[in-house]
Amino acid sequence: MKQSEINALIAEYPLVAQLMALQPVSWFNPRSTTLAAGLPFVGLGAEDVAQASRRLARFAPYISRAFPQTRADGGIIESPLTAISAMQQALNVHYGLTLPGRLLLKQDSHLPISGSIKARGGIYEVLTHAEMLAVGAGLLKPDDDYARLFSDDFRHFFSQYRIAVGSTGNLGLSIGIISAKLGFGVSVHMSADARAWKKQKLREHGVEVIEYAQDYGVAVEQGRKQAADDPHCFFIDDENSQTLFLGYAVAGERLKQQFIQQGITVDEQHPLFVYLPCGVGGGPGGVAFGLKLAFGDHVHCFFAEPTHSPCMLLGIYTGLHDGIAVQDLGIDNVTAADGLAVGRASGFVGRAMERLLDGCYTLSDSEMYRLLGLLDRQQQIRLEPSALAGMPGPWRVAAEHPWLAQRGLDAARMSQATHLVWATGGGMVPDSEMASYLAQAAEQLG
Ligand SMILES: *Cc1c(COP(=O)(O)O)cnc(C)c1O
């Protein structure tokens, strides 16, 4: 972008200057509206999510057999919901502000199979494709017991086909593991920032890993190209896929059931705030969409991004969506937060969610490390850095008095609020890698 264009952008959107200066920014979305008014712009609805949920239920007998760690939950891939009151107290001190209401952690970091939020959307999209192929070939009917898929016959059938995906790590891990288990050939195009252990793990599963010296955008483009040349290869498009989005959205209804089981109320007097780390946007966008369908206007969703990769904030705030990348402004898109190192947001997700999202904020990598260390010390829960991005959110919201007043979120309601931090990854980080995260955290905490 030319300097004159940047100046014009800043004149209209002053927060852009702070983004360029890599300062932590909180942005409260003036265009957020009711579910009823915002829903038509998504282009998907409750029935689409219900269909996704039924598909996952059909596959549960297969998942249960193929991944014994899911057997206790009947092959349903779901994560714990945990109160973290010791962390809440520590953060009251850390941020110098007492948070009214309660703090919970949604541990997608500990989802079975791949230890990140990608075990929702990524696995769902591969299952959808596998079902389409098997039903199309007359080998499977939707009312069959899908445990049948766990057989040499089906593995042989799927081995005629390939799956390709571009990834910063966790999406590749999810898609690689499930695709290889079903019998597909699979290629994962990995960006430069992807961790060595993730590549190694995939290779151990028989996945072809192609490495790039460039970022996520390039890895995705190369994956797309490879698939275009091969009619038997299906490319999973993290930037535009409605299927991925729906796989994530199933989390809304599931969370509602968990709240009921734990006796947690969400209504007008008991608002719910959810804080979701955002990369390209499919994960947080799909989950937020599902949450809106499940809880209506009583849930308020915020996306969290690194100061070096604020692509979704930039896209929605300026209305330019995927027409602008952080690199256009000289922001480097270099961060320790795996999964969040994305320079250009999904245009599909930005446009779908811009009226249903309450805001976006950024935080520094060093803050993620401090939070990683605090969570380990206070709760003995270990996450990867990106998964901590949601953690400052409740304190950013609690400090925003004009916005709270404008939304009718008074002191009585806030004292009964639930703040849910979505922990998106870290369950499979090797011990040596975690030790180095914790050492960096200790250094940051002093
Ligand atoms: C992928 C990922 C996200 C964000 O999901 P997007 O769909 O890319 O926005 C957040 N946290 C972790 C750990 C991830 O792997």
**How far does the centroid of ligand 1 lie from the alpha carbon of residue 271, in Å?**
25
Ligand 1 touching residue 280 (CB < 6 A): yes
Domain residue limits, the chain: 3-113+243-444, 117-240
For residue 283, which atom of ligand 1 is closest to its CA?
7
Looking at the chain, the whole-number percentage of residues with pLDDT higher than 70 is 100
Ligand 1 touching residue 344 (CB < 6 A): no
Phi/psi of residue 420, each to 5°? -115, 115
User: What's the mean pLDDT in 274-281?
Assistant: 98
pLDDT attached to residue 338: 85
The per-residue pLDDT for range 320-366, each reduced to its tens digit, is 999 999 999 999 999 999 889 999 999 999 999 999 999 999 999 99
The preferred substitution site among 110, 116, 384 for testing ligand 1, maximizing ligand atoms within 8 Å of CB, is 116
End-to-end CA distance of the chain: 40
**How far does the centroid of ligand 1 lie from the alpha carbon of residue 275, in Å?**
13
**How far does the centroid of ligand 1 lie from the alpha carbon of residue 199, in Å?**
17
Please report which confidence band the pLDDT of residue 226 belongs to, taking 50, 70 and 90 as the band edges: confident
Nearest CA residue ID for atom 5, ligand 1: 283
**How far does the centroid of ligand 1 lie from the alpha carbon of residue 287, in Å?**
11
Supply the pTM of this predicted model: 0.97
**How far does the centroid of ligand 1 lie from the alpha carbon of residue 340, in Å?**
6
The strand pairing partners of 103, in sequence order, are: 419
Answer for the pair 420, 302: CB distance below 8 angstroms, yes or no. no
Ligand 1 touching residue 385 (CB < 6 A): no
Answer for the pair 55, 127: CB distance below 8 angstroms, yes or no. yes
- CA angle at residue 36 from 31 to 38, to 5 degrees? 35
Distance CA 84, CA 421 (A): 10
Answer for the pair 16, 9: CB distance below 8 angstroms, yes or no. yes
**How far does the centroid of ligand 1 lie from the alpha carbon of residue 106, in Å?**
14
User: Closest Cα partner for 82 from 404, 392, 380?
Assistant: 380
CATH architecture of 117-240: 3-Layer(aba) Sandwich (3.40)
pLDDT attached to residue 133: 98
pLDDT attached to residue 220: 87
DSSP 112-166: TTTSBTHHHHHHHHHHHHHHHHHHHTTS--TTS-GGGGSSHHHHHHHTT-EEEEE
Place of tokens 């609020």: 417
The preferred substitution site among 386, 391, 421 for testing ligand 1, maximizing ligand atoms within 8 Å of CB, is 386
Equal CATH topology for 3-113+243-444 and 117-240: yes
pLDDT attached to residue 215: 81
User: Closest Cα partner for 145 from 137, 136, 154?
Assistant: 154
The per-residue pLDDT for range 389-441, each reduced to its tens digit, is 999 999 999 999 999 999 999 999 999 999 999 999 999 999 999 999 999 99
Q: Which CATH number fits domain 3-113+243-444: 3.40.190.10, 3.40.50.1100, 3.90.1150.10, 3.40.50.720?
A: 3.40.50.1100
Distance CA 262, CA 318 (A): 40
Answer for the pair 390, 104: CB distance below 8 angstroms, yes or no. no
The per-residue pLDDT for range 87-112, each reduced to its tens digit, is 999 999 999 999 999 999 999 999 99
Phi/psi of residue 94, each to 5°? -55, -45
Q: List strand residue ranges (DSSP E) for 324-406, in order.
A: 359-363
